[in-house]
Structure 1
C-alpha cells in the first residue's frame, strides 16, 4: 500500500530534476539542428563516410533514403477506403497458478469508410499448454517465447483479415501498433531467427502480392537512429571506432555524448508542421538481414496531435502510391481517434485482458481440470497468501 504523504515529499525533487533535463534537452536540440544544417550541405560525403565506419560504431545509425531537407505534405486519403488493424494481449504463464499455461488474445478491427459496409470488431484467443507450445524450440524462456508468439499471431491475423475484408478496387491499409522490427530476436541465434521470422514474412508477402500496404504506427517513439546519423559527426577521431577510442562508452561521457539519449521525435517536432512527413530513412538493425524485400524503412509524421514514427516495409516505402496511402490513412485515423489511430485503439480494446477476464479464465481452467479427474488443483501457497490478508 502506497504512503502518499511520504511520496509527496519526494515530488519536488522530481519536478526540479525534470525541469533541468528539459532545459538541457532544449540546448542539445539546438546543437542537433546546427549539425543537421551542415549535414544537409554535405549529405553524400557524410553518407559514404558513415557506410565505411558503421560496423565500428556501437549505436544504431539510420541510413537516409532521401535528401535530409525533404519535408513533404501528406495528401488526404480518398473518402472511400478500408483500414484493418490488430493488437494483442496475453496472460503469461506462472508457476504459482493452478496450471502452467498461457493465453494470447488478438483484437482485430476492419473499418470501412465511404461504402456503408458494417465494421468488424472481434478478438481471437488461443490457449497454449503443451511444453513445445510454451517454450518453442528456440532456447528461450516461456515469457520470451510468448512475446514472439503474440507478435506472430498479430501479423498472421492481420494478413488474414486484410485479405478477407477488403474489396477489389477499394484502397486499404493494414496497421499494427508498434515497430515492425523484431528487436528481441537480435539475441537469438541465426537459425532460430529465420525460423521465427518465416511466418511473419510470409504474411507480409501475402499483403505485398495484393498491394495492401502495411505500416507500424509508433506513438511517443524513443528511437534515435536518425539523430545518431548526426551524432556520429561529433566524433573527433578521423577513424571512428567506439571500442578502440572510447572503450565502448557511447553515453554522455563520450565525445559524441552531447546528443546521447535524444529521440528523433524531439528533433522532428522542431522541423515538421501538422500534415507533413520527414525524409525517408532505412533502419540498419542487424535482424533486418533476414527481411529481404521487407526491410524496414521509416519516417516521422506530424499528425497534428504528435510526431509519430511510421515504419513500412521497403516495398511500401519506395512505392509512392502505397506510401502516401499509408500516411494519409494515419492522418485520417488520428483525427478520427482524437489523437491516436481509431482502428488501433479499437483493436487494443478488443485484445486487452482485464483483471476480471483473467480471473474468469483461471476459473474455467479449474473447472476443466476437475472434469479431467484432477483433484489436487490449487494455486501456490505464495499466491494464495497474496490474495488474502490478515489485516
Structure 2
C-alpha cells in the first residue's frame, strides 16, 4: 500500500526539477530548429557523408528522402473505405498455475465506412502447451516468456494479412475500395538484433511473407507509434553538429565516455521536435530508417514520417513499397488521420483491436477453470495451483 503522507515531502523537489527541465527543453528546441535550417542548406552533402561513414558512426541516423523543410497537408479521407487492425494479448506461463502453458489472444477488427456493412470485431485465442512450443527457445538462451511475445507479434501480422486479403481478393467486389491495415507499434523489430539466426528465421520470414500478401492486394500497411521516444530523425542533425570534417566517431570520439560533442540537443526526441514545426493535419518529410536489422528486410525496408494528428505528433512507419507509392502513401496517411479523429486522439481500429484482445482477470480465471475441468475429466489427480499462488489470491489485505 502506498503511503501518500510519506510521499508528499518529495513532491516539491519533483516540481522544481520539472520547471528547470522545461526551460532547458525550450533551449534545445531552438537549437534544433537552427540545426535544421543549417542542414537544409547542405542536405545532399550530409546524406553522402552518412552513407560513406555509416560503419564508423556510433549512432543510428535516419536518411531524409525529402527536403527537411517539407510540410505536407494530408488529404481528407474518401467517404467509403475499410480499415483492418490487429492487436494481441497473452497469459504468460507460470509454474504456480495448474498447468505450464501460455495463451495468445489476437483481437481482429475490420471497420467499413460508407458501405452499409457490419464490422468485424472478434478475437482468436491459441494455447501453446507442447514441449516444442514451451522450451524450443531455451536452446538459444531466450526465456519462454520472451519467446511468447515474439510469437504473438508473428500471429498479429499473419492474422492481419489473412483478414485483409480474404476481404479484398476476388470474387469479392471490394478490391477498389480504399483500405488500410494498421498495427500498434513499430515495424522495426529491434528485438531481432543479437538474436541467433536460427531463432530469427522463425520470426522474421513469416512476417515478411504476410507483408508480401498485403502488397499483392495493394493494401497499405502502417505502424502507429503514439508518444514515440525515437530520435532517429534528430540524429541526422548530429551530422551537421559534428565538429569534425568527417563523422568518423570510431576515430575522433572513441575515448569519450560522456556526452558526444554532436549531442547538443540531447535528450530531445523527434516527436517533441516536430511538434513545434507541424500544424494539425500535416506530415513531416519522409525518412528511411538506417537500423541495421533492416538489412534483413529485403525490399521491405522501413520508412517513417511524423504526423500532427491534432492531439500529438505520432510516428508513422511503413514498408518501402508503401513509401515509394505516393497515392498509396497519401491514402494510408489520410485514413490514419481520420481514424485518430474518430477515436478522439488514438486510432479507433487499434483501440478496438486492443479491447478485443485484452485478457482480463476474469478471463484468466475462467481459462484455468476450464483447463482444470478437462484435466480432471481425463483422470489427472492433485490438480491445483501452488500454495504460494493460492495464498496470494486469498490475501487478508
Tell me the TM-score range normalised by the shorter chain: over 0.9
Q: Deviations over 1:20-52 (max 9, x none)?
A: 222211111111111000000000111111112
1:337 aligns with 343
What runs of 5+ residues in structure 2 fail to find an aligned partner? 169-173
C-alpha separation in 1, matches of 2:302 and 2:184: 15
- Pick one of 203, 212, 227 that aligns with 2:219: 212
- Pick one of 308, 311, 318 that aligns with 1:302: 308
For residue 70 of structure 1, give the secondary structure of its aligned residue in structure 2: coil
In the superposition, the TM-score normalised over structure 2's length comes to: 0.94
1:342-353 to 2 correspondence within 5 Å? 342-353=348-359
User: Is the counterpart of residue 202 in structure 1 residue 209 in structure 2?
Assistant: yes
Q: Deviations over 1:177-229 (max 9, x none)?
A: 11011110102023432332111000000010110100001111111000011
What runs of 5+ residues in structure 1 fail to find an aligned partner? none
User: Alignment RMSD, CA only?
Assistant: 1.7
1:32 aligns with 32
CA contact (8 A) 1:58 1:250 kept: no
1:111-260 to 2 correspondence within 5 Å? 111-137=111-137, 139=140, 140-166=142-168, 167-247=174-254, 253-260=259-266
User: Is the counterpart of residue 367 in structure 1 residue 373 in structure 2?
Assistant: yes
2:386 aligns with 380
C-alpha separation in 2, matches of 1:157 and 1:249: 47
CA contact (8 A) 2:49 2:247 kept: no
C-alpha separation in 2, matches of 1:63 and 1:377: 57
CA contact (8 A) 1:81 1:112 kept: yes
- Note the C-alpha offset of 1:378: 2.6
127-136 vs 295-304, greater mean Cα deviation: 127-136
- Note the C-alpha offset of 1:367: 1.8
Aligned CA distance change for structure 1 residues 31 and 280 (closer, same or farther; 3 Å): same
1:323 aligns with 329
- Pick one of 255, 279, 291 that aligns with 1:285: 291
- Note the C-alpha offset of 1:237: 2.9
Q: Deviations over 1:145-178 (max 9, x none)?
A: 1111010000000001111234121111100011
User: Is the counterpart of residue 54 in structure 1 residue 60 in structure 2?
Assistant: no
311-320 vs 282-291, greater mean Cα deviation: 282-291
Q: Which runs of 4+ in 1 moved over 4 A?
A: 248-251
1:92-103 to 2 correspondence within 5 Å? 92-103=92-103
- Note the C-alpha offset of 1:243: 4.4
In the superposition, the TM-score normalised over structure 1's length comes to: 0.95
1:56-75 to 2 correspondence within 5 Å? 56-75=56-75
C-alpha separation in 2, matches of 1:116 and 1:86: 22
C-alpha separation in 1, matches of 2:296 and 2:183: 20
